[in-house]
Amino acid sequence: GNSVTQMEGPVTPSEEAFLTINCTYTATGYPSLFWYVQYPGEGLQLLLKATKADDKGSNKGFEATYRKETTSFHLEKGSVQVSDSAVYFCALTNTGGFKTIFGAGTRLFVKA
């Protein structure tokens, strides 16, 4: 079946550090891949997405590249800020599918 595995948190880098949050997936077919972010007290919102292999999604300084050969979609940012502190969810939707499969979420806490 389809599944998403992401690194456990919390991840606690210092401000301006380089950030990587790992995500790997299992899926049949050719899924679309997403990163959603949830700020305290709010619903999830799309951060970035990629719909086919080798695509790179980017937004707000975050990037992730769809790697089919390693079934990965790792989230990176060159210089994190305190305001990036949130929970990050990796997710996938299969072509033609309704459901989005979410990972367990990774809590990011950026230290000032």
Partner 1 sequence: DAGVIQSPRHEVTEMGQEVTLRCKPISGHNSLFWYRQTMMRGLELLIYFNNNVPIDDSGMPEDRFSAKMPNASFSTLKIQPSEPRDSAVYFCASSLWTSGGETQYFGPGTRLLVL
Q: Which residues bind to partner 1, rule: CB under 8 A? A: 31-32, 34, 42-46, 49, 51, 89, 93-100, 102, 104-105
Give min distance, CB of 64 to partner 1, in A: 15
Backbone angles phi, psi at 82, to 5 degrees: -55, -35
Residue in this structure with the two tokens 């979410």, named with its chain if needed: 102
Residue in this structure with the two tokens 């992401």, named with its chain if needed: 6
Distance of alpha carbon 46 from alpha carbon 65, whole angstroms = 16
Give min distance, CB of 53 to partner 1, in A: 13
| Closer by beta carbon to partner 1, 80 or else 88 | 88
Distance of alpha carbon 47 from alpha carbon 73, whole angstroms = 13
Give min distance, CB of 32 to partner 1, in A: 3
| Closer by beta carbon to partner 1, 45 or else 83 | 45
